[in-house]
A and B are shown apart, each in its own frame.
Chain A
Amino acid sequence: MTTIATTEEPTAPARRRRRMPLAAAIALVPAAIIVAVVYVGCMIWTVRLSFTSSRLLPNLDFVGFSQYERLLSNTRFLTSVENIVLFGVLFIAACLVFGFLMAVFIDQRIRGEALFRTIFLYPYSMSFIVTGLVWQWVLNPTLGVEDTLHKLGLTFIDVDWAVNRDTVVYALVLAAVWHGAGLVMAILLAGLRGVDADLWKAARVDGIPTWRVYTSIVLPLLGPMIVTAVVLLAISVARLYDLVVAMTGGGPGIASDVPAKFVMDHLFERSNIGLATSAATMMLITVAIVLAPWVYARYVRPQVPR
């Protein structure tokens, strides 16, 4: 969606002045109502509940910031925040690097291109639950890779990442990159195919090495594609839940907990709606802070007359 917005940017201010046709306005009413009630309404409701002492059932008393106080002294919540930051940075970076490399690889007009493209993109067709279960088994020390290696006599190699507190987040990143890198490849490959062939010819005439063309000419051209990929990846970071539940259950201990899991556990299992909604509100604020510069650049700044 970002790519479309980018291509339309020059005409955007002109369009804003035009009035919307009646039919279009009517057609948009249901969507607008859904957005207002379901999304905005629920957000406000959630924020309101975070200031209450609600347990199993929502109530509307007011207890100030006491849920937030409890939240910010909760080791588990703080661990989950650390985890999501570490996961998010590594996951997005690794997906971009591997996705780009795979896209470049396929862009060499290799033989069997369709086969490789399918293989690279295939993990993305699986749900995070399936991904998590598969990697849980692969990394299980008594069933998976480690067991196989040990049986082959390679007992000095330990692949206990998913059951080790210090490495479990990296194991999650590994599984998530396996799942998501193919998507980045598909997006960037589309971008690479859109690069004007004349650019390549001109670069070749000038004798510029290929890697230099990629880093200095092609990558900047891919800017909008990369933004699209980052937005999509960031969304899957913010909602990271099912992968963790399927792969580690937040463990060992609380070592791979994430905020969404914290919210879900407290909302239902622990009958603590107040604490859960305050954690959800913290997530909302974080996402808003991350999105704010982008929203400003895209929607606010263009209105300023030059």
Chain B
Amino acid sequence: MKTLRQALLATCVVIALPAAAVAQDAEVLHWWTSGGESAAVKVFADAYTGAGGNWIDTAIAGGQNARNAGVNRIVGGNPPTVMQFNTGEQFSELVANGLLRDVDSVAKANNWSDVLPKAVVDAATRDGSFYAVPVNIHGQNWLFTNNDVLQKSGVEAPQSFAELIAAAPKIKEAGFTPLAHGGQNWQDHVLFDAVVLETGGPDLFLKIYRDKDTDAAESDEFRQAAETYGKLRALTDEGSPGRSWNETTNLVLTGKAAAQLMGDWAKGEFIAAGLTPGKEYGCTIMPGGYMMGGDVFVFPKVDDEAAKAAQDKMAELMLSPEVQVAFNMKKGSVPVRLDVDVSAMDQCAQAGMKALQDPAKQVASHNFYSPDLVGTTRDVITQYWSAPEMGTDEFVENFVSAMEAAY
């Protein structure tokens, strides 16, 4: 009996000790599973472990799968400590239902509102409180070009869609595809948004997606954007429909196509192929602004004080300047902080960082707005792209009714 009591006592001590000393367990749910991505997330894990915490990695392949699993666990009352989302509207409903914890104390102490671009602050806050930690910015209107192909075709690197369309005949004549495009609906959408931004600037773009202003969709500028977009169809190759973005990037980096419009995650493909920006390939931000997307981490409500402390520590670490630079160099994106030294990063990242300094150029991508609106307009855009016989008028008409149907 006595030995049993001693054993119990000893167990209690053993359990209590580490709880008091260390063991800020943080379970982090994310979907970064590819080579470059997991190398990037390891930066966070190492930083957290280095700060005395215990990183529990829950990686689920595929953003959609990971978000479903995470949302189900949050609703079911067994949330992960930290969870990834895309910057934008994805987690708004969780905030509205009181399922997330704000990290205002950390944000105030570290002055987040001043060091982050305004669009990112808006995306991470709800009613003035920080509910998410933005960790990176992916530009989504980059034109990647193959310098060798451009040279052989005798054209300069296009700085706008108008220039690309003008250069297309020469590129075709030289035997290359002017624009490598993967005809999947989201890629059609990314390309369309870039054209809208070039034609109408941030103003038109925001009126469409943020304000759901149907007059803007009926404006001449929008029609003009639709026409330019339609002209781009002739610049692609016939293998385009259904092709994934990375296969498409491959056409550019192997010298079969001149250019691709894609987010800067495509840079990872060029880096993996051992190419240097500015030398073998070029990267240009298309005119009109810098279309920003990215990733955030949110903090589900927890009761446990230790878990709350773990969340605060994680929030602080993820946005610390050193971790930001190290993480984003691996990820291919640019840091969300405007005050970090990016001289170690490549030419494209520095150009992206420069674009970010100008608030007038910061445009939050469509992910920041209603997912339903993005979905309904995407269906119309992808139909228009694949159906040349649909004229601009019919397209605008369908686009307006898609805007009206969406919440």
Contacts and interface: CB of A to CB of B under 8 A. Distances in A.
A163 B241 CA distance: 6
Interface stretch (A33-41, A99-107, A195-203, A264-272): A264-272
Given A57-B93, A142-B238, A163-B242, A251 B382 contact: yes
Contact of B405 (A55, A73, A162, A268): A73
B89 to A, nearest CB: 8
Contacts of B237: 142
Contacts of A223: none
A75 B405 contact: no
Contacts of A253: 185, 382-387
Contacts of B93: 55-57, 271
Chain B binding surface SS class:
helix
Nearest to A160: B238
B75 interface: yes
Interface string A70-85: 1001111000000000
B242 A165 contact: no
Chain A binding surface SS class:
loop
A76 B406 CA distance: 14
A252 B241 contact: yes
B405 A70 contact: yes
A268 B75 CA distance: 15
Contacts of B387: 165, 253
B15 to A, nearest CB: 36
B184 A251 contact: yes
Interface residues of A, number: 34
Contacts of B347: none
A162 B71 contact: no
A163 B239 contact: yes
A36 B94 CA distance: 31
A248 B240 CA distance: 11
Interface stretch (B122-130, B332-340, B367-375): B367-375
Nearest to A144: B239
B374 A270 contact: yes
Nearest to B256: A142
A74 B184 CA distance: 20
A272 B372 contact: yes
A143 interface: yes
A254 interface: yes
Contact of A75 (B238, B371, B379): B379
Contact of A270 (B241, B372, B385): B372
Contacts of A46: none
Given A141-B238, A251-B386, A253-B387, A269 B379 contact: no
Interface in B82-102: 90, 93-94, 97
A78 B240 CA distance: 25
Contacts of A55: 93, 372, 407
Given A70-B405, A271-B90, A271-B93, A163 B372 contact: no
A254 B375 contact: no
A254 B239 contact: no
Nearest to B89: A271
A162 B240 CA distance: 11
A255 interface: yes
Interface in B262-320: none
A140 interface: yes
B398 interface: yes
Interface string A226-266: 00000000000000000000011111111100000000011
Contacts of B385: 253
A281 interface: no
B383 A75 contact: yes
A81 to B, nearest CB: 15
B185 A249 contact: yes
Given A141-B239, A253-B385, A271 B184 contact: no
A13 to B, nearest CB: 47
A268 B237 CA distance: 32
Contacts of B386: 165, 251-253, 255
B375 A75 contact: no
Contact of A254 (B67, B97, B238, B379): B379
B237 to A, nearest CB: 6
Contacts of B183: 163, 251-252
A184 B387 CA distance: 37
Given A55-B372, A57-B75, A270-B372, A249 B242 contact: yes
A140 B407 CA distance: 37
A136 interface: yes
Contact of B241 (A73, A75, A251): A251
Interface in A45-67: 53, 55-57
A147 to B, nearest CB: 9
Contacts of A265: 375
Nearest to B67: A268
Contacts of A165: 386-387
B64 interface: yes
Contacts of A272: 371-372, 375, 407
Contacts of A76: 379
B97 A266 contact: no
Interface of A: 53, 55-57, 70, 73-76, 136, 140-143, 160, 162-163, 165, 247-255, 265-266, 268-272
25 contacts: A55-B407, A56-B371, A75-B379, A75-B398, A140-B239, A142-B237, A142-B239, A162-B242, A247-B242, A251-B183, A251-B185, A251-B386, A252-B183, A252-B241, A253-B383, A253-B384, A253-B385, A253-B386, A254-B382, A265-B375, A268-B68, A269-B371, A270-B371, A270-B374, A271-B93
Nearest 10 pairs of A and B residues by beta carbon: A253-B386, A142-B239, A270-B375, A252-B386, A163-B241, A252-B241, A56-B93, A253-B383, A271-B371, A141-B238
Given A163-B241, A251-B184, 6 more contacts: A55-B407, A57-B97, A163-B242, A252-B183, A254-B382, A255-B386
